[in-house]
Amino acid sequence: MSFLSHLISGISLGSIYAIIALGYTMVYGIAKMLNFAHGDVIMVGAYACFFIASRYELPVVLGVLVAMLVCTLLGVIIERLAYKPLRSASSLAVLITAIGMSYFLQNAAQLMWTSNPKVFRSVVGDKSLKLFGGQLSISAIAIVTVATCIVIMLGLTWFTGRTKMGKAMRACSEDKGAAQLMGINVNATISMTFAIGSALAAIAGVLLCSMYPTLMPTTGSMPGIKAFTAAVFGGIGSIPGAMLGGILLGIIEIFGKAYVSTQLSDAIVFVVLIVILLVKPAGLLGKQVQEKV
């Protein structure tokens, strides 16, 4: 029974990684850049929700919506101010800018909200579902997290596959020049990608802090790195890959903690990543680029 309970917490933690990883993978797919500030956008979203729902005790739904709005704006502004001017710069310059942006957000949060940990009140309360006569208990947040993750996954798949904006995103990811010559506004499409990724980051932030209720300016950084790992693990650029990578990473982490060692759990995660990348360099669902000779 403990196995099942570990599996469930692994899947729910993995679902959060997956939602964050979607932001990384979508931005990478379209703008071909690694937005390392993504993890810190999560933290900002969690703070936004914290102030609305925990501090001022307004409805939780409002807290989530405000968090999404704040993060969407933040994501678009970051892209406009920090990344857009570097559109034609080398990828290394953009990468360094992204790392700088990450530290900027962390320090700005520290300045505004201090580094004292805040206690985040779970958005779904601490109810849980008892099964098998109380032997297995599944927390409400785990259920909500997994359900949210599934809804987001289905929604995004549908969005990218069936709507004109989604198709424009895929077109930009393949060939920006050709997309532009078809009358597709590439800058607007990139902004939209950042907006969607950041809105998802807000949701991930709220879910993460509902599960682990300590909120600090550095809260987003480790999950951000893990989610980036998940995106690479699943095949960066691929939406189902980010999903699969995230969930597997969550499961591996929780099993590592439960059966091997709490201290070594992160090391185990990265060892598995290295092994997978040695076998499949493009990630689990990544496309192997074929060169036509």
Partner 1 sequence: MSEPRKETKLVPVPATNYVPERDVDKPPILEARNLGIDFGGLTALEGFNLAISPTEIVGLIGPNGAGKTTVFNLLSKVYQPTRGTILLNGNDTMGMSTVQVNRAGVARTFQNIRLFSNLSVEDNVKLGLHNHIKYGMFSGVLRLPNYWKQEKQANERVRELLSIFNMEHMVHDRAGALPYGAQRRLEIIRALATAPKLLLLDEPAAGMNPSETGELMENIVKVRDTFGVAVMLIEHDMNLVMGICEGICVLNFGKIIAKGTPSEIQNNPVVIEAYLGRQKEDG
d(CA 177, CA 61): 41
Interactions with partner 1, residue window 167-186 (CB under 8 A): 167-168, 170-171, 174-175, 177-186
Nearer CB in complex with partner 1: 166/250: 166
Task: Give min distance, CB of 180 to partner 1, in A.
Answer: 4
d(CA 286, CA 54): 40
139 membership: H or E segment, kind and range: strand 136-139
26 to 131, 199, 207: CA distances (angstroms)? 38, 13, 20
Nearer CB in complex with partner 1: 121/176: 176
Task: Give min distance, CB of 182 to partner 1, in A.
Answer: 5
Amino acid identity, position 246: G
Nearer CB in complex with partner 1: 107/163: 163
Neighbour-count burial of 104, counting CB atoms closer than 10 A to its CB (0-12 exposed, 13-18 middle, 19+ buried): middle
286 closest CA partner among 7, 39, 21, 79: 21
By CB under 8 A, which span of 18-26, 157-165, 255-263, 270-278 interacts with partner 1? 157-165
β partners of residue 103? none
Binding marks (x or -) toward partner 1, 183..222, rule CB under 8 A?
Answer: xxxx-----x------------------------------
The reply to whether 126 sits near partner 1 by the rule CB under 8 A is no
Task: Give min distance, CB of 179 to partner 1, in A.
Answer: 7
Task: Give min distance, CB of 252 to partner 1, in A.
Answer: 30
Is residue 244 within 8 Å of 19, Cβ to Cβ? no
Q: Quick one: which of 132, 133, 164, 291 contacts partner 1 (CB under 8 A)?
A: 164
d(CA 35, CA 69): 19
The secondary structure of residue 236, as a DSSP letter, is: T
Interactions with partner 1, residue window 104-123 (CB under 8 A): none
Nearer CB in complex with partner 1: 13/152: 152
Task: Give min distance, CB of 45 to partner 1, in A.
Answer: 19
Q: Please give the size of the binding site for partner 1, defined by CB under 8 A.
A: 24
Nearer CB in complex with partner 1: 65/276: 65
Binding marks (x or -) toward partner 1, 129..148, rule CB under 8 A?
Answer: --------------------
d(CA 10, CA 16): 10
Is residue 169 within 8 Å of 196, Cβ to Cβ? no
Task: Give min distance, CB of 31 to partner 1, in A.
Answer: 17
For 43-81, the DSSP string reads: HHHHHHHIIIIIIS---HHHHHHHHHHHHHHHHHHHIII
3-state class (DSSP) for residue 47: helix
Report the interface residues with partner 1, using CB under 8 A: 155, 159, 162-168, 170-171, 174-175, 177-186, 192
